[in-house]
Amino acid sequence: MPVLSGTAHTAPPVPESSPTREYGLDILRVVSICGVVAIHVFGHVLGRAPRESRPWWTAVVLDVSWIWVVPVFVMISGALILGSRVVAEQPGLFYRRRAVRLIPALVAWNLIYLVGVRIWMRGEDLTPQRTLQLLVDGSVFTQLYFLWLIAGLYGVAPVLAGFLRGGGQPRATKAAAAFLAASLLFYMLPGILGLFGVASPVRLNFLTHWMPYVGYFLAGYALRNVRLTGAKLTVTALATAAIIAGTVWHYGNKGELRLLDAVVSVSYLGVGVALAALGVFVVTLSLASNLRVRRAGKPLTVLSNATFGVFLVHLVIFEAIRLQFPAVAAGMSIKAMVLAYAATLVGSFAVSAAARRVPVLRSIF
């Protein structure tokens, strides 16, 4: 800022996080990334096994049971970022730190999946028009939209943090509820209109992927200090488990109840999934609040720090497995898919943890 004297005064950098580590968030990260890998591996079965067959139903359970993981990842980001002093007090510093972390990953992984996976491994013949469409849609590969999603949330984080500051818990809760309700209603509308024969699909691109997730981002901040005990914790945990089970049943029986399909979509922005994500977030942090980590703290931290790299690299590893093993490519054998899941998960953690030790690679892992 301008100064009147000849010597400028520069404020010292504000620490971005508290020195006290929240191990509950680390546990949520690790569990959630296991779910992300499960969704992508067992989702491979859903498009190949005959509907209603045993492999298909097994894949439904192993896939849809984890549908809450992406909203929870966004909530974790909201808890850490919107609760940080640097976001509101030094937004320029915040942007610089995040840009150094995110821009190399955006560029590198879009190239890796576009050239390495689509063209080299799969042999796709991508026209310039198709390539441009993939880039604009932010859909170069299955999970890469999340990089654009989180970049957008980083962009608005200082604005949100400034609004929340001084408003206390009531302001945070009301803001989270308002934004999340708006997104859920917005994503409910196409299904309702479909009942009347009106097609109104929601289409996002790399500039807008973040918008529907502001509610989850704010909810992570609003719920970051909520800890349940006793009967409240038990009831919330049971209700969350019931909602997840109901979501699995709903996906397996999609098309039989048109009104339910229209109003409660099985998607990251469906009402049931939102309730499940909120429940998992609060229950996990509540259970972890009394956890004594001690010796497990360092391994847990290593695994937690590796989750970003696992998110990015796991589909490269799974693609390599799929191309080498016909049983995995066929997607009909649950035993083969379980082995592929284990190999993909362990391999991804190993690659990510090792890459984070290499200065050149650390910037994209």
pLDDT in tens, 107-154: 999 999 999 999 999 999 999 999 999 999 999 999 999 999 999 999
- How far apart (Å, rounded) are the C-alpha atoms in residues 146 and 107? 13
15 domain residue, yes or no: no
Point out the domain boundary residue: 227, 259, 288. 288
123 domain residue, yes or no: yes
* Residues 279, 215 contacting (CB under 8 angstroms): no
Q: Are residue 275 and residue 313 in the same domain, yes or no?
A: no
Q: Are residue 247 and residue 127 in the same domain, yes or no?
A: yes
Per-residue pLDDT, 3: 36
102 domain residue, yes or no: no
148 domain residue, yes or no: yes
Per DSSP, helices labelled H in 325-333 are 326-330
Taking CA atoms, 204 is separated from 122, 127, 133, 149, in Å, by 26, 22, 12, 10
Q: Are residue 147 and residue 277 in the same domain, yes or no?
A: yes
Q: Are residue 191 and residue 221 in the same domain, yes or no?
A: yes
* Digitized pLDDT (tens) for each residue of the chain, 365 residues in all: 333 333 333 334 444 444 467 889 999 999 999 999 999 999 999 989 999 899 999 999 999 999 999 999 999 999 999 988 899 899 999 999 999 989 999 999 999 999 999 999 999 999 999 999 999 999 999 999 999 999 999 999 999 999 998 898 999 999 999 999 999 999 999 999 999 999 999 999 999 999 999 999 999 999 999 999 999 999 999 999 999 999 999 999 998 888 999 999 999 999 999 999 999 999 999 999 877 776 667 899 999 999 999 999 999 999 999 999 999 999 999 999 999 999 999 999 999 999 999 998 999 99
Per-residue pLDDT, 4: 36
269 domain residue, yes or no: yes
Q: Are residue 231 and residue 355 in the same domain, yes or no?
A: no
Cβ–Cβ contacts within 10 Å for residue 233, how many? 15
Q: Check residue 73 and report its DSSP letter.
A: H
Total structural domains within the chain = 2
Point out the domain boundary residue: 288, 307, 325. 288
Q: Are residue 165 and residue 269 in the same domain, yes or no?
A: yes
Point out the domain boundary residue: 270, 288, 306. 288
pTM above 0.85, yes or no: yes
Q: Are residue 221 and residue 155 in the same domain, yes or no?
A: yes
57 domain residue, yes or no: yes
Q: Are residue 148 and residue 261 in the same domain, yes or no?
A: yes
Residues spanned by the domain of 55: 21-66+292-364
Q: Are residue 323 and residue 284 in the same domain, yes or no?
A: no
Q: Are residue 120 and residue 228 in the same domain, yes or no?
A: yes
Q: Are residue 278 and residue 181 in the same domain, yes or no?
A: yes
Q: Which of 351, 326, 349, 350 is nearest to 337 (CA)?
A: 326
